[in-house]
Amino acid sequence: MRRRQGLASLIPWFFIALFFLFITAFLILPSITVLLGAFFENGAPTLKFVRQIFGRHYLHAYIVTTELAALTALIATVAGLVTAHIVQMRGTPQWVRTGITSFSGVAANFAGVPLAFAFISTLGTLGMVTVWLKVIGIDIYSQGFSLFTFTGLTITYLYFQVPLMVIVITPAVQGMRKEWREACDNLGGSSFTYWRRIGIPILTPPTLAGFILLFGNAFASYATPYALTSGLIPLVPTEIGNLLSGNVMAAPQLGQALALGMIVVMGLAMLLYWLLQKWASKWR
């Protein structure tokens, strides 16, 4: 009997060990490899590869990636917050809540090559919506729009960024107690007073945390922009892919230096997210 209890107590530790083994194999060891590749060449320490990422081309890639991530995160934060608030309002039908929640769960994980193909089939040069608009006399491509530009990438990213924000911010919106609104009304406060003194201060930390999460999610996206633009728009993830797997300009150590820069950016984003979540926990 005691032997069975002892074996049963070891089962949780077995799965914990598997978890740490997974983290070591796919996070810690790759990070160490990137660090060594960025700062060592033929066994000797060097800063040559780190200096190269501050060159004009790669610095521009960091700027474009940051702009794309920040823009899509900002738009998705606002749209997701408004959507979550409307869904959780009194009087909203249950089927609407269920439908939007279910769609958000699916759309937030729909990315990569399938998402790029879906948008090419919809808004590409011969996409369904593009052809329909031509029938009614609207040629969006002759007016300067292109799915394969920065604007097209922004629209594509929003497809999974907005649903992700809805998922992230919904618990915070649900945590807004009706007693707070009733207390404000009983004390003679208006809707403006409620949002200025109660609603906005409470929702600000989780909203900012959601923005940081969306920024990191967009900053690290690789498959969607590569499949959509074939690397024509200089983004850090696609530049890393070109350097690590390119047949003409393969430079693994430079790619590892670029990846190190991404690790720094993502690390700072995770730190800010943790701090904001800690701030938001005070209201729970």
What averages of pLDDT result for each successive group of 10 residues across the chain (284 residues)? 63 86 89 87 85 90 95 96 89 87 90 90 91 91 90 94 94 84 82 83 87 92 89 89 71 88 87 78 60
> Smallest Cα–Cα separation from 165: which of 210, 217, 223, 101?
210
The pTM of this model reads 0.86
CATH of 55-283, one of 1.10.3720.10, 3.30.2290.10, 3.40.190.10, 2.60.40.650: 1.10.3720.10
Give me the pLDDT at residue 133, please: 92
Separation of alpha carbons 237 and 37, rounded Å: 17
The ranges assigned to domains in the chain are 1-46, 55-283
Tally the C-alpha atoms within 13 A of residue 152's C-alpha that lie toward its C-beta.
26
Residue with tokens 């070891």: 10
> Smallest Cα–Cα separation from 105: which of 188, 166, 29?
166
Give me the pLDDT at residue 246, please: 63
